Amino acid sequence: MTTLTVILRTGEERAIEAKTGVSAMETIRDGGIDEIMAICGGCCSCATCHVYVAEEDWGRLSPPGPDEAGLLEFSEHPTPFSRLSCQIKMSPALDGLKVTIAPED
């Protein structure tokens, strides 16, 4: 079982089961967390699924692609560890990945 740990905007931490090949955004929504709007449905055309990846986990992810990086540049709350959760595909290699839901833009 692969687990994704999500820190909500309230600071509450939740561990949810993730299926291989499913995006972190879908995993978060399927896990009953409604803080991710994901207006584009995971097409990398908005930034409403913005999360902060824990610094210690950053190196386990591939770098953001140009479309994702461009969208994150327009966020009001970017950090060096910002990612769009729709662009993170869950896998056993990401077991225990921790993300914090970014403030709403």
Number of domains observed in the structure of the chain:
1
Q: Which domain holds residue 25?
A: 2-101
The pLDDT of residue 22 is above 90: yes
Are 93 and 101 spatial neighbours (Cβ–Cβ below 8 Å)?
no
pTM over 0.85: yes
Half-sphere exposure of 94 (CA within 13 A, CB side): 26
| Average pLDDT of the segment spanning 86-96 | 98
Residue 28 has a pLDDT of 98
Write the DSSP assignment of 52-72 as a string of letters. Answer: EE-GGGGGGSPPPPHHHHHHH
pLDDT-above-70 percentage for the chain: 100
Specify the CATH number for the domain of residue 83. Answer: 3.10.20.30
Question: Which pLDDT band holds residue 16 (cuts at 50, 70, 90)?
Answer: very high
Q: In whole angstroms, what is the distance from residue 53 CA to residue 61 CA?
A: 9
